[in-house]
Structure 1
Amino acid sequence: MLVLAVDTATPAVTAGLVHLSPADDANARPVITTLAARVKVDARAHAEVLTPQILECLTEAGVAREDLDAVVVGIGPGPFTGLRVGMATAAAFADALDLPVYGVSSLDAIAADAAPEQREAGELLVVTDARRREVYWARYLNGERVAGPDVIRAAEVPADNAVAIAGSAAHVDFFDLPVLPSETPSPAGLVRVAADALVSGAPPEPLVPLYLRRPDAVENSFRTLDRSGA
């Protein structure tokens, strides 16, 4: 199965082509192979670079659009403007090619890239940049989310029993925890989160962005109304 994976929930613009094969053993995980990937860290360039990245990946892998079997997209949490670029692009590709599109948590995708031995060692904390001096966060145990997602100041994140951290390089140092080299959602991580649904052919849920707070433009409009007395 050939899967297009994209994510724009962080300052990184990510696109990739991933081959997914069912596991031979009922107790094993599906086999995930990244055929091509593009990652550009630029919080202001999501709209400009995502589609060219997708086309570059198709060319590098020697894959035609018609060869794709599914699309997976990170649904956040993330800032409004960047997040909607990835979701709209994924939905457009899926609609044009009559493909299922699966939305997954971007934090879950980062956690999925953690080393298997870490999953057995204890809780993993994942944080990404939420701007306004805040972070999006969630905690994981044995690969399953046990707390979050939420958005809060880094100093207020309940690390609790976490024994390691992954995510935004600009924020992991706020925590006195060993840092794993998984900063942003990878194409393989995104597909890994959706692997069971992809392999089983389960129908995807509707795409719903995970903002965790109102877009800035909406909040500003409320402030304007408040000042006017309306």
Structure 2
Amino acid sequence: MLLLALDTATPAVTVALHDGTSVVAESGQVDARRHGELLLPAVDRVLREAGTGLDAVTGIVVGTGPGPYTGLRVGLMTADTFGLALGVPVHGVCTLDGLAYAAEDVEGPFVVATDARRKEVYWARYQDARTRLTGPAVDRPADIAEEIAGLPAVGAGALLYPDTFADPRGPEHVSAGALAALAAERLAAGEELDEPRPLYLRRPDAQVPKNYKVVTPK
């Protein structure tokens, strides 16, 4: 097994290779505006560090969000393209699940929250690092304050709103290494992974103007 994992659902552009036992190589850069520019060079860098080629990959793992439309689709489209070109399966993993999995030192129930912009967060509740209880959802922090009161919180969303998330923890952004490790664990257990479909949770920021005039050729 050699899984190529990638995620662009948060400001982090992250790529990793996992051999079914451990992470072989990993790259991560935080830049919310350059997902498309940074992703393929990161893939190339990880492959070179591992001393292998793309043709050795046996499966693709991609973070499905939730996340902003523009960034999220970069990773999903790239994963689909690799899967088709290589003839290998493409597995989806919720980005929040990857963050939860990387927070194994957080005990008991906790929350994962990422920045959804518009003064909102993408969030989910977890029983432990591997078990999601509710979500994912998108809400204003104040609207969920009572529901999550007293729970540790992981992710950039928690750090942005300390008045709501009273006990913010790391990691701040997801890592492809954690996504790959979680996917490898689930596959080894015979579990089915999600389809590589985006969890947008709301409409994209860009909208066609209401009074837009369609011009058709005469």
TM-score interval, normalised by the smaller of the two chains: 0.7 to 0.9
Task: Write the distance in 1 (CA, Å) between the matches of 2:179 and 2:59.
Answer: 12
TM-score, L = length of structure 1? 0.83
Task: Write the distance in 2 (CA, Å) between the matches of 1:54 and 1:61.
Answer: 11
Confirm or deny: 8 A CA contact 1:123 1:161 kept in the other structure: no
Write the deviation string for residues 73-118 of structure 1: whole angstroms up to 9, x where unpaired. Answer: 0010000000000000111111111111100100010001112x53
Task: Write the distance in 2 (CA, Å) between the matches of 1:56 and 1:185.
Answer: 19
2:55 pairs with 50, 60, 66, which one? 66
Partner of 1:154 in structure 2? Answer: 141
- 1:209 and 2:195 correspond: no
1:140 pairs with 126, 150, 153, which one? 126
Partner of 1:177 in structure 2? Answer: 166
Task: Write the distance in 1 (CA, Å) between the matches of 2:136 and 2:191.
Answer: 24
2:94 pairs with 92, 95, 105, which one? 105
Instruction: Report the identity percentage.
Output: 43
Write the deviation string for residues 181-217 of structure 1: whole angstroms up to 9, x where unpaired. Answer: 2122212221233234433676755321100001122
Structure-2 change in CA distance of 1:47 and 1:111 (3 Å): same
Partner of 1:11 in structure 2? Answer: 11
SS in 1 for 2:202: coil
How far off its partner does 1:134 sit?
0.7
Write the deviation string for residues 128-165 of structure 1: whole angstroms up to 9, x where unpaired. Answer: 01111111000100231111111111222244365311
Structure-2 change in CA distance of 1:123 and 1:4 (3 Å): same
Confirm or deny: 8 A CA contact 1:137 1:157 kept in the other structure: no
Confirm or deny: 8 A CA contact 1:100 1:203 kept in the other structure: no
- 1:36 and 2:21 correspond: no
SS in 1 for 2:103: coil
Number of equivalent positions = 209
How far off its partner does 1:40 sit?
1.1
- 1:166 and 2:154 correspond: yes
Question: Which sits farther off after the overlay, 58-67 or 175-184?
Answer: 175-184
SS in 2 for 1:73: strand
Confirm or deny: 8 A CA contact 1:122 1:161 kept in the other structure: no
Confirm or deny: 8 A CA contact 2:61 2:92 kept in the other structure: yes
Partner of 1:53 in structure 2? Answer: 42
Question: Which sits farther off after the overlay, 190-199 or 144-153?
Answer: 190-199
C-alpha RMSD over aligned residues:
2.1
- 1:125 and 2:111 correspond: yes
Amino acid at match of 1:144: T
Structure-2 change in CA distance of 1:205 and 1:147 (3 Å): closer
Question: Unaligned stretches of 5+ in structure 1?
Answer: 22-32
